Amino acid sequence: MIAPLSQTLRTTVLRLILVCLSVVVVGPLAGQTLFGGLSNRLSNLRFMALPYAAVSPETGWAFGAAGSYFFNIGEDRRLSYIDFSGNYTLARQWQVAVSSVLYFGQESRWQVRWRTGYHRYPYYYYGQGNRLSDLRQDRLAYSSDNAYLYVQPLYRLNDGWSVGGNIEADYRFARAQTDEQIAGMNQRLMTIGVGALALFDSRDRLYYPSSGLFFKTEVTARTTFLSAVMPMLNIRADYRQYQTLYQQLILAWQVCAETTIGRSVPFYMLPVLGGQDLIRGLQRALFTDDLMVAAQAELRFPIYHALRACVFAGVGDVYNYNYWQWTMPKVGYGAGLRVCLNNDMVNIRFDVARNNLTSSWALDTWSFYLTLKEAF
């Protein structure tokens, strides 16, 4: 049978414990905001971190931490940040990651977006397709060694538009106990990518916008070494809009698409649905194929002081160019709580979501997410 589409009950309980841990760590900093009057020093909080613990059949127990550091470069008015995360499992698997957006230069003309990291971690391969019947009846467990670096320098042309380049370097070795011919499986691949991008951004705030537009499109050509995999072309487009309906009642919505074109594209370089940012409630990478399209919306509203909430829903699917077929789109929906940590509206985000792939309302059909900053 196909693997369950959501976390087990045991994992669900542990993620709820994670929420309690975050309160222990962040509570002393954010609690004064929730119940009246935060000092100027704490209202400008620039560093935050969360510990977490989780368990899954692939890894056993996993322990780690994630956080962010926010700062200004010189007299620049826009807030730069560095995100970090890392964990270690009792199965001796681990990952570390660092990402950042840096604003500098006169009137924030320049920005550099980058991320880097390494992981040795287990995953499941379900095959390709947009129907459950297309997927493998026995999910294939594999382990991935992955080191990567992505850099995007950008120059702002005017108050909205920026243009720049995209430089990628990615080493990956995905290995599994199988003799099947799966592109990218049991191969050591070094991928280099070079491309261009254009970005329009008129949001009033970076981390919790109440008005404005965001649009970004990227085109990246990739080629591989250490293997005969053919060159690939990756195209992404992301459109977001934010509007205040009444006082602090905000409607946010997003439409995005991604495609990878080429012969024998490694399976892990194909677009995917699901995860903590796109179609929450759907397991990430359960559905993957040549083309991904998705849309989601979120209604955000205040509760009390720094405490906010939201309801959200998203819909999307994947498609194959050689075997195009329509099926029921994948839907994710749920609700969440937010705790504002500083004057720049950086939030702790806790979301509860589910999808339309099952009619059961059992606790283990729900997904739980705890992280910093909004999904979009």
Is there a contact between 117 and 150 (Cβ–Cβ < 8 Å)?
Answer: no
CA-closest candidate to residue 95, choices 127, 76, 120, 132: 120
Q: Confidence class of residue 300 from pLDDT cuts 50, 70 and 90?
A: very high
φ and ψ at residue 340, rounded to 5 degrees: -80, 135
Residue 31 has pLDDT above 60, yes or no: no
Average pLDDT over residues 167-184: 94
> Tokens in use for 104?
């500098």
pLDDT of res. 227:
60
Q: Which among 291, 296, 261 is positioned nearest to 275, based on CA atoms?
A: 296
| 298, pLDDT greater than 90 | yes
Three-state DSSP class for residue 298: strand
Q: Are 168 and 149 in contact (CB under 8 A)?
A: yes
> Using an 8 Å Cβ cutoff, are 290 and 274 in contact?
no
Residue in this structure with the two tokens 């990478």, named with its chain if needed: 285
How many CB atoms are located within 10 Å of the residue 260 CB? 20
Amino acid at position 157, single letter: L
Structure tokens at 21: 């841990």
Query: What pLDDT is stored for residue 54 in this prediction?
Result: 64
Is domain 9-372 annotated with CATH 2.40.160.50?
Answer: yes
Residues, the chain, total? 376
Q: Per-residue confidence at 34, pLDDT binned at 50, 70, 90?
A: very low
Q: Is 65 in contact with 50 (CB distance < 8 Å)?
A: yes
Judge contact between 325 and 130, C-beta under 8 A.
Answer: yes
Locate the domains of the chain by residue range.
Answer: 9-372
Name the band, by pLDDT with cuts 50, 70 and 90, for residue 123: confident
Cα gap 199→102, rounded to integer Å: 15
The one-letter amino acid at 213: L
Q: pLDDT value at position 178?
A: 93
- At 329 the three-state DSSP class reads coil
The identity of residue 100, as a single letter, is S
Q: Which helix (H) or strand (E) holds 26?
A: helix 9-34
- In 183-263, at which residue ranges do the beta strands (DSSP E only) sit? 187-201, 212-225, 232-246, 249-261
Q: What is the rounded CA–CA span in Å between residue 290 and residue 267? A: 10
